[in-house]
Structure formats: structure tokens, C-alpha cells
Homo-oligomer: A and B are copies of this chain.
Amino acid sequence: MRDSYHEELEALSERLVEMTRQARHGVARATTALLDSDLNAAQEVISGDEEINRLDDEIEASAFDLMARQQPVARDLRIIITSLHMAGDLERMGDHAVHIAKIARRRHPDSAIPAELRSIVLEMGHQAELLVIKAGEVITEGDAAKARELDTDDDQMDRLRRRLLTRILDPSWQHGVEATMDVTLAGRFYERFGDHAVHVADNLVYMVTGEKPEESENEV
């Protein structure tokens, strides 16, 4: 009984890592959709979100089942509760990839991102991938020290977003209202994707140490 119990706890963690893979794939393809005005990529992200939602549901069902049958206490209970939180954050990361893909779909066959902002958006996409890959690693390794690094890694995403906003607020910006809206929202979605990766890492720290990191409040 206890063996199957610990296998199920392990399976929770594996499902979370699988969610990080799916979220990474989603945001990478969403960035492609956005920069290459690639409608197939956009559709793939939008329909692929079901898989992330399914994993979230599985984690919830499994957590519920574990709590009802095994009545875990202390550290095991903390693992289960933090897994639920992490699954929630990863599910929202998938949603943000979908939101980015929908911007691309809405503007297709036009591109939502003006040429001079492509390199910044590409970097935001890469930073998003880096954050979610690292979130997956800290879950696999249970490494609280590495998890604490994500807050600093995310600062780079915030800097990129400020660069984006500086560019659209510059008097030389001449791209009209639609582009302003698209860039404003895309910037926000990448930033939120990063915030949720930091939350996943914060929960890992709590899972491993029992101590809650200060919530990192991000500027809009």
C-alpha cells in the first residue's frame, strides 16, 4: 500500500514535468505563430491546450484520491497541496500561450508584430522557454536553491517587456492602434507566463523546505 502510495506521489511530479514540457512547446509555437504569422502553429497551440488541461484535471483527481485514501499529513500533504498549485500555474501558462497564438490568428495573414520589434519578441519567447524548462528541472530535481534563481531569471523578462513598451511609446512609433494593442497584450502575456513559472518555483521551494518565499509582486 505504501509503495503504491509513493508511486502515486511520484506520478504527480511526473505529470507536472510533462505539463512544463507542454507549456514550453505551446509558448515556443505561439512565438512562431506570432513572428511568422503561421496560422497552423497558432491552431496547434490553441487545440493543444486541451492536453495541458487534461493533465491538470488528472493531477487534481489524483491528489483528491491520495488525500481521501491515504490521509497524508505533514510533508506528504504539503507535496500534494503544492502540486495542485503548480498544476494551476502551469495550466495558466498554457492559457497565456493560447492568448499569444490568438493574437497571431486574429491578424493573419498580416503579422501582429512590426519588423523592428521582432527581435525583442523573439527574446521574450526564448526567455519564456528558459523559465519553463528550468521550472521543470527544479521539479525533477527538487532543488530549492535552483528554484530560487527563477525570480532573478524572470527579471530579464520584465526588462524585455519594458524595452517593448519603451519602443511603442517612442515618438517614432507609427504603427497604429491595432499594432499598439497587439504588442501591449503580447508583452503582458509573455510577462505573465514568466510570473507563473516563478510561482511554480516558489511552490517547489515551499514543498521542499516548508517555508514560503515572499510573493513576488510584479508591476503591470
Give A residues with C-beta under 8 Å from B.
53, 60, 63-64, 67-68, 71, 73-74, 77-78, 81, 84-85, 88, 99, 102-103, 165, 168-169, 173, 177-178, 180-181, 184-185, 188, 215, 219-220
Contact = CB atoms under 8 A, between A and B. Distances in A.
A169 B180 CA distance: 10
Given A68-B73, A74-B68, A77-B67, A168 B185 contact: no
Q: What is the oligomeric copy number?
A: 2
A103 B184 contact: no
Contacts of A188: 185, 188
Most buried by B among A63, A71, A74, A102: A71
Given A68-B74, A73-B68, A99 B180 contact: no
Most buried by B among A64, A177, A184, A188: A177
Which 7 interchain pairs have the tightest Cβ spacing?
Answer: A71-B71, A180-B180, A99-B220, A68-B73, A181-B184, A184-B184, A102-B220
Contacts of A77: 64, 67-68
Contacts of A178: 169
The interface residues of chain A, by DSSP majority, are classed as: helix
Nearest to A73: B68
Contact of A168 (B73, B99, B181, B220): B181
A99 B184 CA distance: 14
A215 B177 contact: no
A67 B68 contact: no
A71 B74 CA distance: 12
Nearest to A102: B220
Contact of A181 (B73, B85, B165): B165
A196 to B, nearest CB: 11
A19 B177 CA distance: 37
Given A103-B220, A220-B99, A180 B184 contact: yes
Nearest to A49: B217
A89 to B, nearest CB: 10
Contacts of A181: 165, 168-169, 180, 184
